[in-house]
């Protein structure tokens, strides 16, 4: 479980996150939604410890992350899998090398075990047989899937995905949503996904928080989000024409 | 041109680079790779430039030496001094900062803007150390080799001129190369090369590491890396010359 208390993040004088309070439970897909520029990435980087907030506390289980020593933080980080917005595929390694990288760095597996694990992860994301491809030979969707394969290599307890299906065609986007949902339920991970895709919200948003002008503006799930009377959230949801059609038919 | 722009940031990045390095075995593999990538692959251009500088220096000197009062071996002597004291260690390093420095800054900068550095950090890897340290070690180790190679190529260029023009007899040239020679000259050139190797790799590693934004900023910072390394090479050239020869 991840718990966020009174989190404030500023850049110079600009307040990007203003007093955020929330909880993310294991075995659930938690979505962070909001317009682009609303602070989703900044929020995720605060959770990862890549950015340090000006105020607030962050608990992984019962451990207060920001007050831990560097070494203890590192131990928690080994339980995190992260899919960055750009994929962040290591371009000095091939497909196999990318998935192997965390295993080489942090596991005591034998060569054979590592290869088996790599192939298992690649199969999970439907990339079996692409082991020797270079990152420049991958399409956008393949890169995102490879990033997911790498993020689950060490069986993470916490899975973070920053806009995992932005820029993908609808079919690929659905595949990735399903993948994230299934991984979360199969391994009981605490999953946090940034998105502005309403399809994902409806499909996999077991918990949804909506960021607006630096505030946590609304909190709920895919079951009650369409019934909301929150004006800003309604504007956000029904900005897309597909959502407007959905509204008319429902 | 702001000479000491970000000097404290530079020191912070260097502090991070030299603390908590990654696994020794990984590091050794990276060093070997970088020695090849940054060092061996630079040798053709080093050879080409040094050879022609040797040739040009000799042609200039031979052309100036009309006076019978100046002994002919002076040409060899001057060529040696120019090449060993300044051209090979200093000017060659500045040229290499264009090749090696901008390459390092672009490589690390691209990794920064595509979040690969964030990805390393969340895995608990010290990204500065993982990316910059092997490059510094590899290049500092291979710099003496590159500079020695450059000296040989330069002196060989001078030799070619004695063969082609006949203005200065080859035997006089070789006599000049050995005249008043002390092994300290070479030591001095190699010491400089170690400093300059460190300057190039650490400064360009720093400029790559601090890129924020996108491809445009990566380009800007590779240029900065090259310019700043050249400036600090010249500054340290003066300082080292004062220390060793002053
Ligand atoms: N390193 C930074 N320095 C200054 N401002 C930043 C930085 N990173 C993000 N911001 C600002 O924070 C706001 C939120 O950005 P971001 O979290 O990337 O939005 P989102 O991911 O929701 O699209 C933006 O206004 C952005 O300009
Ligand atoms: Mg973002």
In this structure, chain A runs to a length of 250
Q: What is the pLDDT of residue A93?
A: 94
* Calpha distance A225→B140 (Å, rounded): 60
pLDDT score recorded for residue B164: 87
pLDDT at B109: 97
Determine how β-strand A28-33 pairs with β-strand A55-60.
unpaired
Which residues lie at CB < 5 A from ion ligand 2?
Answer: A 41
Which of A48, A85, A89 lies nearest to residue B122, judging by beta carbons?
A48
Would you call A77 and B122 a contact, using CB atoms and an 8 Å cutoff?
A: yes
Q: Nearest CA of chain B to the CA of A88: how many Å? A: 5
- B8 belongs to a structural domain: no
- List phi, psi (to 5°) of A97: -60, -40
Q: How far apart are CA B228 and CA B164, in angstroms?
A: 40
Label residue A109 exposed, middle or buried (CB < 10 Å: 0-12, 13-18, 19+).
Answer: middle
Mutate-to-test residue for ligand 1 from A8, A11, A161, A214, highest number of ligand atoms within 8 A of CB? A11
Q: Is the pLDDT of residue A241 over 70?
A: no
State whether B119 and A84 contact (CB < 8 Å).
yes
B13 inside domain:
no
Is this prediction's ipTM beyond 0.95?
A: no
Asked if the structure places residue B182 within a domain, the reply is: yes
pLDDT tens sequence across B63-78 = 887 777 888 888 899 9
Q: Which regions in chain B score pLDDT beneath 50?
A: none
Choose among A149, A81, A157: nearest CA to A117: A149
Kindly state the tokens that stand for A244: 């407007």
| pLDDT in the model for residue A240 | 67
Ligand 1 site residues (CB inside 6 A) read A 11, 16, 34, 36-42
CB spacing of A84 vs B115 below 8 angstroms: yes
Task: Give the pLDDT band (50/70/90) at residue A140.
Answer: confident
**What is the pLDDT at residue A227?**
86
Q: From the CA of B226, how many Å to the nearest CA of chain A?
A: 23
pLDDT value of position B79: 92
pTM of the model as a whole: 0.89
B161 inside domain: yes
Closest C-alpha to ligand 1, atom 25: A37
- B22 is a domain residue: no
Q: What is the pLDDT of residues A122-139, one digit of tens each?
A: 998 889 999 999 999 999
- pLDDT value of residue A169: 84
Using DSSP bridges, classify how beta strands A2-11 and A63-64 pair: parallel, antiparallel or unpaired. unpaired
DSSP letter for each residue of chain B: --TTTTHHHHHHHHHHHTSS---HHHHHHHHHHHIIIIIGGGHHHHHHHHHHHHHHHHHHHHHH---TTS-TTHHHHHHHHIIIIIIIIIIHHHHHIIIIIHHHHHHHHHHHHTTHHHHHHHTT--HHHHHHHHHHHHHHHHHHHHHHHHHHHHHHHHHHHHHHH-SS-HHHHHHHHHTT--THHHHHHHHHHHHHHHHHHHHHHHHHHT--SSHHHHHHHHHHHHHHHHHHHHHHHHHHHHHHH-
d(CA A93, CA A105): 14
Nearest residue in chain A measured CA to CA from B114: A88
Cβ-defined contact of A105 to B122 (cutoff 8 Å): no
Chain A: give the shortest CA distance to residue B166, in Å: 52
Task: Give Cα A224 distance to the centre of its chain.
Answer: 22
Atom of ligand 1 nearest to the CA of A51: 1
Interface test with B, best of A84, A99, A140, A162 (most B CBs within 10 A): A84
Q: Closest approach of chain B CAs to the CA of A71, in angstroms?
A: 9
Dig out the tokens for A236 from the structure: 């956000």
Torsion angles phi and psi, residue A207, rounded to 5? -135, 140
Q: Which residue has the tokens 């702001």?
A: B2
The radius of gyration of chain B from alpha carbons, rounded to an integer in Å, stands at 21
Chain A to chain B, count of Cβ pairs less than 8 Å apart? Answer: 49
| Vertex A88 angle, CA B121 and B201, to 5° | 60
State how far the Cα of A142 lies from the Cα of A125, in Å rounded to an integer. Answer: 9
Which of A75, A85, A102 lies at the smallest CB-CB distance from B123? A102
- Whether residue B16 lies within 8 A of chain A, CB to CB, comes out as no
Q: Token pair 């895995």 is at which residue?
A: B123
Domain-embedded: residue B7: no
- Residue A242 — pLDDT band, cuts 50, 70, 90? low
Q: What is the DSSP string of A20-55?
A: EEEEE-TTEEEEEE--TTSSHHHHHHHHHTSS--SE
Q: Name the CA radius of gyration of chain A, rounded.
A: 18
Does residue B202 lie within any of the structural domains?
yes
Contact A65, A59 (CB under 8 A): yes
Position B169 scores a pLDDT of 87
Name the domain count of chain B.
1
**Residue located nearest, by CA, to atom 6 of ligand 1:** A11
Query: Coil, strand, or helix at residue A120?
Result: helix
B123 part of contact set with chain A, CB < 8 Å: yes
Question: Residue B187 belongs to what domain range?
Answer: 45-60+71-241
Check residue B167 and give its pLDDT: 80
Average pLDDT, chain B: 92
Q: Does B24 touch chain A if contact means CB atoms closer than 8 Å? A: no
Contacts of B118 in chain A (CB under 8 A): 45, 48, 50, 82, 84, 88
Domain assignment present for residue B16? The answer is no
């Amino acid at each position: 479980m991840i718990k966020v208390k009174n989190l404030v993040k500023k850049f110079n004088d600009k307040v990007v996150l203003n007093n955020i309070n929330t909880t993310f439970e294991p075995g659930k897909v938690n979505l962070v939604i909001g317009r682009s520029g609303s602070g989703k990435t900044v929020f995720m980087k605060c959770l990862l410890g890549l950015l340090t907030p000006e105020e607030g506390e962050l608990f992984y289980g019962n451990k207060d992350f920001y007050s831990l020593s560097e070494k203890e933080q590192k131990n928690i980080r080994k339980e995190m899998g992260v899919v960055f917005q750009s994929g962040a595929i290591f371009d000095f390694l091939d497909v196999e090398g990318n998935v192997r990288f965390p295993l080489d760095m942090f596991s005591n597996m034998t060569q054979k075990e590592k290869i088996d694990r790599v192939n298992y992860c690649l199969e999970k994301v439907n990339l079996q047989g692409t082991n020797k491809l270079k990152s420049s030979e991958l399409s956008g969707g393949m890169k995102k899937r490879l990033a997911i394969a790498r993020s689950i290599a060490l069986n993470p307890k916490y899975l973070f995905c920053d806009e995992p299906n932005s820029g993908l065609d609808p079919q690929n986007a659905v595949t990735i949503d399903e993948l994230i949902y299934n991984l979360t339920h199969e391994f009981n991970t605490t999953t946090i996904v940034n998105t502005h895709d309403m399809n994902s919200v409806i499909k996999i948003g077991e918990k949804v928080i909506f960021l607006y002008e630096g505030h946590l503006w609304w909190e709920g799930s895919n079951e009650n989000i369409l019934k909301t009377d929150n004006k800003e959230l309604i504007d956000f949801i029904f900005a897309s024409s597909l959502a407007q059609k959905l509204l008319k038919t429902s | 041109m702001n000479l000491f722009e970000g000097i404290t940031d530079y020191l912070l990045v260097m502090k991070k680079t030299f603390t908590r390095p990654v696994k020794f075995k990984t590091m050794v593999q990276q060093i070997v790779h970088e020695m090849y990538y940054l060092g061996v692959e630079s040798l053709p251009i080093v050879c080409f430039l040094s050879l022609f500088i040797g040739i040009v220096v000799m042609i200039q000197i031979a052309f100036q030496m009309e006076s019978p009062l100046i002994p002919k071996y002076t040409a060899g002597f001057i060529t040696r001094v120019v090449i060993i004291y300044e051209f090979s260690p200093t000017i060659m390093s500045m040229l290499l900062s264009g090749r090696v420095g901008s390459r390092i800054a672009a490589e690390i900068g691209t990794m920064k803007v595509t979040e690969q550095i964030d990805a390393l950090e969340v895995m608990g890897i010290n990204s500065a150390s993982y990316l910059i340290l092997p490059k510094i070690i590899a290049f500092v180790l291979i710099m003496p080799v590159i500079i020695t190679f450059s000296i040989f190529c330069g002196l060989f260029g001078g030799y070619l001129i004695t063969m082609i023009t006949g203005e200065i007899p080859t035997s006089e040239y070789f006599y000049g190369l050995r005249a008043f020679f002390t092994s300290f000259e070479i030591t001095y050139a190699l010491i400089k090369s170690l400093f300059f190797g460190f300057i190039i790799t650490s400064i360009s590693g720093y400029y790559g590491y601090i890129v924020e934004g996108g491809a445009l900023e990566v380009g800007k910072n590779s240029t900065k890396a090259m310019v700043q390394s050249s400036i600090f090479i010249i500054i340290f050239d003066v300082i080292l010359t004062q220390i060793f020869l002053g």
